[in-house]
Amino acid sequence: MRAALAACALAAASAVVADRALPPDLSRAGETSTLVVDKDDRLLRAFTTADGKWRLAASPADVDPRYLAMLQAYEDRRFAHHPGIDPLALLRAGVQAVTSGRVVSGGSTLTMQTARLLEPRPRTVGAKLIEIGRALQLETRLTKDEILQRYLTLAPYGGNIEGVRAASLAWLGKEPKRLTLGEAALLVVMPQSPERTRPDRDPAAARAARDKVLRVLAERGAITAREAQEGMQEPVPARRLALPFNAPHLAETLRAEHPPGARIATTIDRALQLQAEQLAAREQGFFADAGNVAIVVVENATRAVRAWVAGADFHGEAGQVDLVRARRSPGSALKPFLYGLAFDEGWLHPETKIADVATRFGDFAPRNFDRGYQGEVTARAALQQSLNVPAVAVLDRLGPTRFVQALMLSGAALEFDRRSLEAPSLPVILGGVGISLADLTMLYAGIAEDGRARPLRLRRDAPEDGIGTRFLEPASALWLREILRGVTPPEPYAQRSGLRPIAYKTGTSYGFRDALAVGFSKRWTIGVWVGRADGTPRPGQYGRTAAAPILFKTFDLLPSEPPSPEPILRAPPPPRALARLVPRAVADQPWRDDARGVAILFPPDGATVELERVGDELVPLALKAEGGRGRLTWIVDGRPLGAGSRFDAPTYTPESEGFLRLVVVDESGDSAHATVRVVTPR
């Protein structure tokens, strides 16, 4: 007796030692396809594993419960209760093999099959014994659901398809969440002989195997005879389908940023993405040349990207180029930001008159796209009509470096021609700089949100920047929204623009290489680019005619929006000092040489000024300027103080410590500005 007990103890100890010395290798179940999913976890694109398999991770929660019940009822009726092996099933299989002279049933449990999938071996008696041992080990390490998870991930379904999720997508064109009886039966039986029962190679064999499952399950009472009959009437798929292939450029980029097998959750809306891709493909079909289309859709409140169409044909010529990220010339699409910054400075107003006449700025003589001139126009009209001379005049006053820095500080990456000078120059406002459609759309979304730029969000786990970077004052952004909403929509949208007020701007680069349109509503911002991936010209393709219609068609794909609560703002008449903007190119002519430009004497730019106190009252800050023509208008933090001469300048009492932005404007429109810090006595 003692000897028997000792032998049992020794055997148990040996089993424990062997179990720890030779644990099962579970790594294969972790070598799964990288998945890129949308905001609702719908598959956008999957990638094959390193060994070339479509192996999509799947758990019991990912599949139809009826499929799981049918799988266990057909393959392993006592799965929930046995320890990894089913002695009754093994005994039955052995007796059948002896009496029939052939293998009638395998006797393998789902746990044993999982062990074989984790460590594939030739089917021999020795391999079967190893599977039995591994199955016992798996049961001590994993729960039943964890064992099922590995089976559902690794089961073979013909070719390079592994796992029930990949099989359901490839053979049925759907996720395995909801399956008919016939579909579930087919997915149950295919792993037994995946190549023989491939529907694309032998649909008759696939049908026969599926029908056998239905008959057996009806005999065992797992389904009714009527259900079995209905399942047999279902068609068998005739071909293998491609797995989802949406947002391929974005998926490719995100995959490169993550380890193999990652599940990458994006902000994309798969339904909208599919519609936008179809729209881009349809529009490309109208092009007689090798034109392409890129579209990006952003939800303003969160900056979440809901659609990213980086090209109309991923498999076409240069199809792998991500045209949403590519830096191309924006043409005139940067002009709104220039006018907004000038509004901020206080020397430009929407109703300020600007001369649109032949003007030379040094060696640069810009002309409008139509080669004509409009005469004297307001800043509002100049922006809405995208006139070039007024825009260059405004940039000449603001300064190209200041303009470029403002865009870059807002998060936009700009690219300059290596042949140009190191410092930005005036042609930058006419498209002489490279910017991506993504960054351009990000900036326009900032106009929609009171002048606050925030990064676009592509991944759901990306932190939402609720603060961002203020690059325009709210009042200036409001003026821009009102001005851009006044741009006439392309036909036939001009007749129904009131259904969703859209503010937008177009751009056409030099030589018709790029045509752009970017627009926003209260909820959405959309950017559209049309051109060739190689940057060659497309004569006659303007932003207004080539890109703007696609912009409005994309807006039509979006949910309807309630009327905006934002009132329509018409800017009041400008102060006399802002009635006209005289370009420096004109002001610097010989007949103006007697005039000196206006300058702020006190407080100087960058100074820290300590205010004086008399009793409990602060002594007002004296503002002094020199030069300029006529009376001077002072503006502090965007609020006019009134007009005066160089000798009777106003005073200003700050409400608190901090920074002040001072602007002084003369009657010719010349201006100077300074930023100072004020502190109070301690």
376 is catalytic: no
Beta strands in 561-670 (DSSP E): 580-581, 599-602, 608-610, 613-614, 617-618, 621-622, 624-626, 632-636, 639-644, 651-652, 658-665
Nearest Cα to Cα of residue 438 among 543, 294, 545: 294
- Between CA 330 and CA 110 the distance in angstroms is 60
Structure token digits, residue 326: 């590519």
List C-alpha distances in Å: 513 to 505, 516, 537, 633: 17, 10, 4, 44
DSSP β-bridge partners for residue 640:
635
Please state the φ and ψ torsions of residue 26, each to the nearest 5 degrees: -100, 5
Nearest Cα to Cα of residue 44 among 358, 389, 460: 460
Catalytic residue among 75, 299, 345, 473: 75
Structure token digits, residue 450: 């009171």
332 is catalytic: yes
- Count Cα atoms within 13 angstroms, Cβ side, for 444: 35
- Between CA 104 and CA 88 the distance in angstroms is 15
Structure token digits, residue 215: 């008959």
Report the sign of the C-alpha dihedral through residues 319, 325, 329, 335, in that order: positive
Which residue has tokens 């005469």?
A: 375
Rg (CA), the chain: 36
- Between CA 243 and CA 159 the distance in angstroms is 14
- Helices first, then strands: H and E counts in the chain: 20, 28
List C-alpha distances in Å: 98 to 91, 192, 391, 445: 11, 22, 93, 76
Q: Counting beta carbons within 10 angstroms of the beta carbon of residue 593, is it exposed (0 to 12), middle (13 to 18) or buried (19 or more)?
A: exposed
Which residue has tokens 């009376």?
A: 631
Beta strands in 454-498 (DSSP E): 469-470
Which residue has tokens 């599919």?
A: 274
Per the CB < 8 A criterion, the answer to whether 440 and 518 are in contact is: yes
DSSP 314-380: TTSTTTTS-TTTSEE--TTTTHHHHHHHHHHHTS--TT-EEEES---BTTB----TTS---EEEEHH
My answer on whether omega of the bond before 350 falls inside 30° of 0, hence cis, is: no
Per the CB < 8 A criterion, the answer to whether 438 and 415 are in contact is: no
Per the CB < 8 A criterion, the answer to whether 157 and 101 are in contact is: no
Beta strands in 381-434 (DSSP E): none
Structure token digits, residue 596: 């000196």
Catalytic residue among 329, 332, 410, 436: 332
Q: Active-site residues: which are they?
A: 75, 332
